[in-house]
Amino acid sequence: MAPLFQSTALLVRLRLRRLVNQLTAASQPKKKPGDKTRTGNPGKKSSQVILYLGGIMMLIGFASISASAMYNLHFALDPPDTFWLTVEYSAALTVGVAFLLLILWTSTLLITIASGELAKPDWDLEWLVTLPMRSDTLLWARILERSVVNLSGTVALVPACTVIAWYSGYRWLAPFVGILAAWPMLLLVALVRTLLDTGLRLTLRPGQLRNLHAVISVLSIVTMYLAISMGLKGKADFMLGVAAMMPDWLAYTPMGLTVRAINERHFADAALLAAGVAGQVGVIVWLGVLLLRRQLRHGVVAGGARESARNSRNTDAGTSAPSRPSRASGFLSAVQRRELTLLGRDRNFLVQSLVIPLLIVGGQLLLGTSGVATSMWKDPNVLASVAFGLAAYSMSMSAFQTLNTEGHALWLLYTFPRSIEDVLKDKAKLWGVITLAYPVVIFAVGAALAPALDWKFLGAMLTALLGIPIYSFIAVALGIFGSNPLEQQQQHKVKPAYVYLYMALSALYVYAIVAPNSTQRLIFMVLSLLLAFALWQKARDQLPYLLDPDASPPARVSTSDGLIAAMLFFVSQAVAAAVIISGGRVTGAAVLISFSIGGAITYALMRYVYARAKTEGVPRIVTEGGGTRPLLGVASGVVAGIFGLAYLYAIGSLGLLEDVTRNNKSYMDLGLWVIPLGVIAAPIFEEFIFRGLIFGGLRRSFSFWPASLASAAIFAILHPALAIVPVFVLGLATAWTYERTRSLLAPMIVHAVYNAAVIMVPMLFV
Amino acid sequence: MIEFLGLTRTYGDFTAVQPLSLAVQRGEVFGFLGPNGAGKTTTIRMMMGILVPSGGRALISGLDCHTQRAEVQRHVGYLPDNPIYYDFLRGREILQFVAEMHGMERAEAGRQAVRMLEEFGLEEVVDEFAVNYSMGMKKKLGLACALIHDPEVLILDEPINGLDPRAARDVQERLKQAAASGKTIFMSTHLLDMAEKVCTRVGIIHRGELVATGTLDELRERVDQNASLERVFLSITDEDTARATAT
């Protein structure tokens, strides 16, 4: 027994050390030369915190689900009016709870196998058998070790057993009882998992193994949902029905005996039942080890490291002639064709990127309490949101992972006379189109079931469909920051913070779908498009550094900085206004001061960050060596101002102006304060953000016209609806002046002259 | 053809490549020798635009390897020290893909791929997934990938490291052929035997610093007329160690 204990302890320590290393590796700064950490993104501390919090949340979540599952089982299986809390369970309830444990056990087993090493080419047993220990000892140690180190099992089974113990009157001892009671079941998980992965590796070809792994990962999600559904109100009927049909002998299986042992009040009986569990599990594991030894009687020889094309039936082997280009593939680039080939051959890739998202979103909808699953067929906005959400979620597994699918073969892309950006664009387009399949199907069904196919349906559908290619680009761009293609560990290939960021941005787009009118929809779509460009630009800076472990790109002003600055400006302005006004009357002075504070904070912060990062291309108010050309500013300001006045006159003569002034009382209440606001504060801060950062950032990647039109558009849509047209023209005039002078002084003058004209001329003459 | 202008690379405080200045003429077979960890692979990766120089530049055909990477690749074929390929793709498909990415028309790329595989003696594994290849086959496939667009410059990182004698000889023959056809070859190696057989000129890099360049005969003169390259190598890298510890 001593060598068994020792080797188990060794294996457990090895496994735990690995787990701890995995969890902490990223958060410890490493100083070793030639180290593989980038100086640009030194740690992932925040994601570690998320990980720990997530673990605790999951334990609590499973405990609460188990508790409500037990309530549901009680109401379904026990006769009405019986009181069950802290009393012995009825025979029916015992079977029901045993069934709950059985389902949790099954899903734990499947998840363990799916997340385990089944599909990995390396098999650690091949290494372990070289250690100087008897094979018996090794196998026992391996099973014991796997029963102790099993995160998903612990998260699912320990809370459930703890809840059973709580309701059996153990109260604060319940967690300890829970851990003790869960362990035999975890031992069984470890046994079955070891038997399966050993047996499967010995008998199946690697290709089949990967396919099986894909199937198991799908099944694991389905059973997990079934288990969770038992604890949900109104969703549990199916599983409760199954539980009611369970045979009585379930009470004599390890799960049933575990339930009875926990629930039993008399110590002697409880000990007897516990001994029964121990005996059963002991015998099963002993038999399992015998079977394992039989499996390994010819030695530890895996079928082969990778899938072989030659002896696999499902690939068209033997065709050495180059495949003829089919008509459909003529539209595709070499990269896109390669991606599709891999998708067709690699079941794991297919399932991970296309099937699992469907299952997860579908499961959420069916199990969720929001009633979306039924209301989506009646309300086109909900339907479109679901369609877009599914596609966006699926792209977090596909488009977001473009670099990870290249993996260690990424070097090949660096040998081609094409920019990496082009290759990634090809992939973004491909996933943008493939992913359209889900919403197209959903809308087809939706159209068949919809009460009416009206503009509302069409508008929602178009918004969702147009959003998908945009978000495909956003996903690829964020994936460039959010993935570690050279990482060996599957779970470290993605940086969670970027996935969450992508999800949050996708959720924003849902607002575009449910927006009350088409103008707002359009605004949101323009903003998303601009966001896609901005992120793509940031990503492009990153591309030459992808395979560089140490260097990061030099900091440059980019469009995304401008978008962030604009947001910061609005938020800080709103906060300042809230503090200054704080319940009092909105005065012109207060507006001026809060506007100026918000602008100054944004300006100072951006300048500070740029100075810290030694950023290139920071906009200047006056360029060195003159050339600021204030007169050019005055001239364009006069032109823009005349346009603005003509516009005011035109809508005034149409009678629209009165409506606006009536609705916008506060604007008129500013009094003379509006003059310094419009002529001094607004030009300084808004020119810095909209011309200096946004137009300047866009100008890095685009020629003058697209950059000026896009920056003028975003400048315009952030103004009141009536002002959009003249402000757009002002945006163009200032961008043109900035382009000509390369300094911010002239556009600031344009802005000031325009504002002076549209504010003061009506004051003087109307 | 290939020029290094003060090319430098640091990892934090550690200098992997000291400012390196060197020119390799058209048609030369230049051997970049040095012990493990001397900075050979770092230099080659900077030539390929995979790593970004901390200072200085590397030029190929007058083009900057970092800022004009894509144009540079038109003229360059590259074999990494450990070529890793995509799962689930056959050798032929990888070659075809590489040829297409170099701008070859698809059908022509397919024909060229089959031709290269035959030329490299890989016909028997033509329908095997490339990840299952032995190291020798992977290197041969890598060399085929490097040569498929008929580049003027070959950049090879340890081309025969880890190959059995027969495969090593095959690859050496290939390289001699390529050199005879006028290609410029820049290869790193720590196998002196290989350098002696193939290279017209060598440079010895030690602790990130280029400590000697010249033809093999010139290097021999520095130590002893009849010395083997091994003795030359050991003495040069030793001297350097002595000097480094003395200062």
ipTM score for this prediction: 0.87
- pTM higher than 0.80: no
Chain centroid offset of residue A557 CA: 27
Mean pLDDT throughout A679-697? 91
B123/A342 Cβ within 8 A: no
Name which of A31, A310, A417 is nearest B70 (Cβ-Cβ).
A417
Residue-level pLDDT at A283: 94
Residue-level pLDDT at A362: 86
Instruction: With beta carbons under 8 A apart, name residues in chain B contacting A409.
Output: 84-86
Mean pLDDT throughout A197-208? 76
Residue-level pLDDT at A86: 58
Q: If you search the block for the tokens 């992939």, which residue do you land on? A: A427
Which residue from A minimizes the CA distance to B122? A320
What CA–CA distances, in Å, run from A542 to A479, A480, A576, A754, B45? 11, 8, 36, 39, 17
Residue-level pLDDT at A29: 46
Compute the CA torsion angle A531, A535, A537, A541 (nearest 10 deg): 170
B92/A322 Cβ within 8 A: yes
Over 50: is that where the pLDDT of A586 sits?
Answer: yes
Burial of A84 (0-12, 13-18, 19+ CB in 10 A): middle
- Choose from A412, A424, A486, A543 for mutation: most chain B CBs within 10 A: A412
CA distance B49 to A545: 9
Mean pLDDT throughout A700-713? 90
Name which of B11, B100, B109 is nearest A550 (Cβ-Cβ).
B11
Mean pLDDT throughout A517-538? 84
B132/A342 Cβ within 8 A: no
Residue-level pLDDT at A37: 42
Q: pLDDT (tens digit, 9 = 90+) per residue, B14-68? A: 888 989 999 999 889 999 988 888 889 899 999 998 888 988 999 999 999 988 8
CA distance A646 to A644: 5
Q: Kindly give the residue spans of alpha helices, DSSP state H, lying in chain B.
A: 40-47, 69-75, 91-101, 106-119, 135-147, 165-180, 192-198, 216-223, 229-246
- A363-370, Cβ contacts within 8 angstroms, sequence gap of 24 or more: A363/A221, A363/A222, A363/A225, A366/A225, A366/A235, A367/A225, A367/A228, A367/A229, A367/A232, A367/A235, A369/A232, A369/A233, A369/A234
Lowest mean pLDDT across A16-25, A184-193, A417-426, A572-581: A16-25
For residue B34, what are its two tokens? 């040095």
Distance from CA of B187 to the nearest CA of A (A): 16
B127/A320 Cβ within 8 A: yes
Lowest mean pLDDT across A68-72, A323-327, A701-705: A323-327
Residue-level pLDDT at A662: 54
- pLDDT level of residue B246 (50, 70, 90 thresholds): very low
Q: pLDDT (tens digit, 9 = 90+) per residue, A141-153? A: 888 888 888 888 8
A39/B106 Cβ within 8 A: no
Residue-level pLDDT at A188: 93
- Choose from B47, B87, B105 for mutation: most chain A CBs within 10 A: B87
End-to-end distance of chain B based on CA atoms, in angstroms?
36
Q: Are A379 and A514 in contact (CB under 8 A)?
A: no
Residue-level pLDDT at A306: 47
Instruction: With beta carbons under 8 A apart, name residues in chain A contacting B145.
Output: 412, 415
Q: pLDDT (tens digit, 9 = 90+) per residue, A24-65? A: 655 544 444 444 444 444 444 445 666 677 778 888 888 888
Beta-carbon contacts of B37 under 8 Å, excluding residues fewer than 6 positions away, are none
Residue-level pLDDT at A138: 81
For residue A202, what are its two tokens? 């010995």
Average pLDDT, chain B: 85
- pLDDT level of residue A766 (50, 70, 90 thresholds): low
Instruction: With beta carbons under 8 A apart, name residues in chain B contacting A320.
Output: 92, 114, 123, 126-127
Beta-carbon contacts of A297 under 8 Å, excluding residues fewer than 6 positions away, are none
Chain centroid offset of residue A650 CA: 49
Beta-carbon contacts of A52 under 8 Å, excluding residues fewer than 6 positions away, are none
Lowest mean pLDDT across A16-20, A88-92, A498-502, B112-116: A16-20
- pLDDT level of residue A179 (50, 70, 90 thresholds): very high
Per residue in B148-181, is it b (16+ CB within 10 Å) or e — as a string? bbebbbbbbbbbbbebeeebbebbbebbeebbee
CA distance A278 to A284: 10
Rg (CA), chain A: 32
Over 90: is that where the pLDDT of B78 sits?
Answer: yes
Name which of A322, A335, A414 is nearest B49 (Cβ-Cβ).
A414
Instruction: Return the closest-CA partner of residue A343 out of A269, A434, A455, A421.
Output: A434
Q: Is A311 helix (H, G, I), strand (E, B) or coil?
A: coil
Lowest mean pLDDT across A108-112, A196-200, B113-117: A196-200
DSSP string, B2-59: EEEEEEEEEETTEEEEEEEEEEE-TT-EEEEE--TTSSHHHHHHHHTTSS--SEEEEE
Residue-level pLDDT at A200: 80
Over 90: is that where the pLDDT of A101 sits?
Answer: yes
Mean pLDDT throughout A94-118? 87
Residue-level pLDDT at A541: 86
B11/A308 Cβ within 8 A: no
Instruction: Return the closest-CA partner of residue A678 out of A619, A584, A599.
Output: A599
Instruction: Name the residue with higher pLDDT: A304 or A495.
Output: A495
Instruction: With beta carbons under 8 A apart, name residues in chain A contacting B126.
Output: 320
CB atoms near residue A622 (< 10 Å): 13
Mean pLDDT throughout B165-182? 87
Which residue from B minimizes the CA distance to A543? B50
Instruction: Please name the amino acid found at residue B159.
Output: P
A346/B88 Cβ within 8 A: yes
Q: Are A148 and A12 in contact (CB under 8 A)?
A: yes
CA distance A281 to A253: 10
Instruction: Please name the amino acid found at residue A71.
Output: Y
Q: Kindly give the residue spans of alpha helices, DSSP state H, lying in A376-495.
A: 380-397, 402-406, 420-434, 437-449, 455-482
Instruction: With beta carbons under 8 A apart, name residues in chain A contacting B106.
Output: 325, 334
Which residue from A minimizes the CA distance to B110? A322
For residue A596, what are its two tokens? 């100026």
Name which of B45, B97, B131 is nearest A338 (Cβ-Cβ).
B97
Per residue in A262-284, is it b (16+ CB within 10 Å) or e — as a string? bbbeeeeebeebbebbeebbeeb
- β pairing state of B55-60 and B29-33: unpaired
Over 70: is that where the pLDDT of A519 sits?
Answer: yes
Over 50: is that where the pLDDT of B158 sits?
Answer: yes
Phi/psi class of residue A234: alpha, beta or left (left: φ > 0; alpha: ψ in -120 to 50)?
Answer: left
Q: Is A487 helix (H, G, I), strand (E, B) or coil?
A: coil
Distance from CA of B228 to the nearest CA of A (A): 33
Residue-level pLDDT at B195: 85
A417/B74 Cβ within 8 A: yes
Residue-level pLDDT at A224: 87
- Choose from B64, B76, B86 for mutation: most chain A CBs within 10 A: B86
Residue-level pLDDT at A305: 46
Q: pLDDT (tens digit, 9 = 90+) per residue, A441-476? A: 999 999 888 877 888 889 899 999 999 999 999 999
Mean pLDDT throughout A597-606? 91
CA distance A172 to A160: 15
Residue-level pLDDT at A330: 65
For residue A656, what are its two tokens? 């629209």
Average pLDDT, chain A: 82
- E strand or H helix that includes residue B155: strand B153-157
Instruction: With beta carbons under 8 A apart, name residues in chain A contacting B128.
Output: 308-310
Over 70: is that where the pLDDT of A761 sits?
Answer: yes
Name which of B84, B97, B129 is nearest A306 (Cβ-Cβ).
B129
